[in-house]
Amino acid sequence: MQLLLATLCDSAADYQGKLCVLGAFDTLCAPQFPVVHPQCSLALRLLFDPEDRGRHELNIKLQDENMQEVMPAFTPVMEVAFSQGQVPFVTRNLVLNLQRLRFEKPGVYRFNISMDGSAVVSVPLRVTRIEEMRGALGPAG
């Protein structure tokens, strides 16, 4: 298995096998905490070789800097099959639509993703105060 894409974005959709991603981001700015982010998506695109055929269990956790879960883990199961003939690989898209994510405090959060018990990727999300971001960006920020 090969991970081709893992991103947090404003929205994503699997459209007839094509992964459509809009507005990839890695930072949320809030005027105060706690803050609730209304809607976003986690988008993954995975490539499987013939030796990867079969059932695969994913585990997706959003955790804070202390490894505390921010939302319940998402555990989809993916069946990978190959049709008859010479198909060199298959791809699978996974879109997790997230609504009303609540962040109690600023910090670096991570979507930790594993498959069949092995880590695949950790997608970071920085959650910060608007005032802190303005100082980092300079007068035009």
Pairwise CA distance, residues 55 & 91, whole Å: 14
What is the radius of gyration, based on Cα positions, of the chain?
A: 17
Q: For the stretch 118-139, what's the b/e string if a residue is b when 16 or more beta carbons lie within 10 angstroms of its beta carbon?
A: eebeebebebbbeeeeeeeeee
User: How do residues 119-128 score in pLDDT, each as one tens digit?
Assistant: 999 999 999 9
User: How do residues 37-89 score in pLDDT, each as one tens digit?
Assistant: 999 999 999 999 999 999 999 999 999 999 999 999 999 999 999 987 788 99
Q: Is the pLDDT of residue 129 over 80?
A: yes
- Give the domains, in start order, of the chain with CATH numbers: 2-133 (2.60.40.2550)
